[in-house]
Each structure stands twice: as structure tokens, then as C-alpha cells.
């Protein structure tokens, strides 16, 4: 599925398939219960996405002027890189459901989830990037 708009929001829920591209300017993006997300991009708004799998092309999430919240299923194995120009990056887990290893700094994280694998990349110019482990995201 490919979704593009300008000055509007994008919301996807319960998709048995992958979001190949979700792009908008000036609107938030929210993706719930999709098999995988390949690219999600917006400006001046936030992105919130559940990641149940990471496809062979990886997952790329970019925001110019907003925050990113990713909810990653506990069974996902991925390399991961998070970057923020002026916010914070954080990785958390509910009840230890996400195994994470890597190098943290306040505005950058590079490492892996589980055994590693295809890459999850999330970047914002001025906001926070947060990744949460959530067994219900699968």
C-alpha cells in the first residue's frame, strides 16, 4: 500500500500487508496493525507506528519537526538506528519483552533488537524518537 497526501493526516489500521510508503506534509501519520512499514515521512507533525515485522528493505521513519513513537513486537529481530537533532532518543520495554543492545547517547542510538537483522532507521530534526517493546504489536 502506498499513501501520499499534503497537509493531511494518514491513518492505517488492521492491514494484512505492508505499508510501502506513507508520506504527507504537515500532518501526523498513525499506523496500527500493519504487517510491516517500509517508509513513513512527514513534517511538522508526529509519526506513531506499530512494527510487527521488518521487511527486506528495512523500515525508514523520518520527521522534520515532530516526534516518532515506534511500538515493536517482541519477536522482531532488527538492526536499529535512532537519531534526533534536538530531542532525545530512548528505547523501553514493557515487562522485558524487548531485547536491546547497542551504544546510546542522548540524541543517538545504534544497535540491535533481538538477534539483529534488517534495519529500522528513525530520524527527526527536532523532536524525540522513542521505541517501545510491546508484545501486542505483533
Sheet harboring 47-51: ordered strands across?
Answer: 10-19, 29-37, 47-51, 68-72, 129-133, 89-93
Predicted local confidence at residue 136, as pLDDT: 47
Q: How far apart are CA 15 and CA 66, in angstroms?
A: 25
Q: How far apart are CA 73 and CA 71, in angstroms?
A: 7
The model's pTM: 0.92
pLDDT tens digits along 68-126: 999 999 899 999 999 999 999 999 876 667 888 899 899 999 999 999 999 999 999 99
Q: How far apart are CA 48 and CA 19, in angstroms?
A: 13
Amino acid at each position: 500500500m502506498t499513501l501520499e497526501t499534503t497537509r493531511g493526516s494518514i491513518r492505517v489500521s488492521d492491514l494484512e500487508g505492508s505499508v510501502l510508503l506513507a508520506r504527507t506534509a504537515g500532518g501526523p501519520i498513525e499506523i496500527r496493525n500493519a504487517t510491516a512499514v517500509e517508509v513513513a515521512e512527514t513534517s511538522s507533525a508526529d509519526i506513531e507506528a506499530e512494527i510487527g515485522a521488518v521487511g527486506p528493505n528495512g523500515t525508514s521513519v523520518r520527521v522534520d519537526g515532530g516526534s516518532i513513537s515506534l511500538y515493536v513486537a517482541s519477536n522482531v529481530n532488527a538492526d536499529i538506528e535512532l537519531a534526533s537533532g534536538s530531542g532525545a532518543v530512548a528505547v523501553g520495554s514493557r515487562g522485558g519483552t524487548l531485547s536491546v543492545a547497542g551504544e546510546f547517547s542522548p540524541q543517538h542510538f545504534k544497535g540491535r533488537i533481538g538477534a539483529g537483522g534488517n534495519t529500522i532507521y528513525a530520524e527527526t530534526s527536532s523532536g524525540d524518537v522513542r521505541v517501545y517493546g510491546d508484545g501486542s504489536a505483533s
